[in-house]
């Protein structure tokens, strides 16, 4: 039998199997449990009902701007035409390039967290999908990462914009901030995610409940099941 640490055992004493907690109570518990030496993220995990689309399983993918940011530092790269390189540099992007950036992408040796492309460069970036796709970095006009307005796209990427996307099993994972955030900031970010999902439900004319269950946890903590105030 695997030996558990004292911290592990102490954390699980605060959770009751299958019990749903009020969100404010969960935020308090999760922050108290975040006792590691680094600042832990506060994360939300949702399970959605996939069997709602007439054409097959439901697939949600959108971006939202968290009102209080995610607390994560974004390193933004911009792929643009040579005559727009200076504009992109002034926008605040850490990495800027044209064909030279494509060579870096092709090598797979890069550490940026966001990639923005101008429409004119999308024809060249397609063949790099195998590198960018698995990392979730392939620019997409629906997500605001393909744009002529470079400054706006970079600003959005750096100001707490997060992607909401479900996997094949209907799971969605997204960070709503850090332990250092005030409770109200975390609550507002959480409700912004629910509002975005409610909007997606309306846009896709879905019937019944979209969200099966919701959990909140910290990077190294236990998860707590949320008692939602309304069905979505």
For the chain, which domains are there? 18-70+161-226 (3.30.190.20), 76-158 (3.40.50.790)
**Integer Cα distance of 95 and 77 in angstroms:** 4
Q: Where are the alpha helices (DSSP H) in 93-214?
A: 99-107, 122-125, 129-132, 150-158, 183-203
Tell me the C-alpha distance between 167 and 68, whole Å: 26
Per residue of the chain (232 residues), give pLDDT as tens: 455 555 555 555 555 566 888 999 999 999 999 888 899 999 999 998 876 555 556 788 889 999 999 998 899 999 999 999 999 999 999 999 999 999 999 999 999 999 999 999 999 998 999 999 999 899 999 899 999 999 999 999 998 889 898 888 889 999 999 999 999 999 999 999 999 998 888 877 777 788 999 999 999 988 999 998 766 6
Rounded distance between C-alpha atoms, residue 11 and residue 218, angstroms = 11
Q: Name the pTM for this structure.
A: 0.81
Give the position of tokens 């970095």: 137
């Amino acid at each position: 039998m695997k030996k558990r640490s004292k911290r592990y055992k102490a954390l699980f004493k605060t959770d009751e199997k299958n019990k749903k907690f009020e969100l404010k109570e969960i935020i308090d518990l999760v922050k108290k449990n975040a006792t590691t030496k680094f600042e832990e993220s506060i994360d939300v995990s949702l399970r959605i009902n996939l069997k709602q689309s007439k054409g097959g399983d439901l697939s949600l993918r959108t971006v939202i701007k968290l009102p209080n940011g995610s607390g994560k530092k974004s390193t933004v790269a911009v792929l643009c035409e040579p005559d727009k390189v200076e504009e992109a540099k002034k926008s605040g992007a850490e990495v800027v390039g044209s064909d030279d950036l494509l060579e870096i992408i092709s090598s797979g040796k890069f550490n940026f967290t966001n990639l923005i492309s101008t429409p004119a460069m999308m024809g060249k970036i397609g063949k790099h999908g195998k590198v960018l796709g698995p990392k979730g970095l392939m620019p997409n006009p629906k997500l605001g990462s393909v744009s002529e307005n470079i400054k706006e796209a970079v600003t959005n990427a750096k100001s707490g914009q997060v992607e909401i996307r479900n996997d094949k099993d209907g799971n969605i994972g997204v960070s709503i901030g850090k332990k250092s955030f005030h409770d109200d900031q975390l609550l507002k970010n959480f409700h912004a995610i629910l509002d975005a999902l409610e909007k997606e439900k309306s846009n896709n004319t879905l019937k019944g409940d979209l969200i099966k269950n919701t959990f909140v946890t910290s990077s190294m903590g236990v998860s707590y099941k949320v008692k939602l105030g309304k069905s979505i």
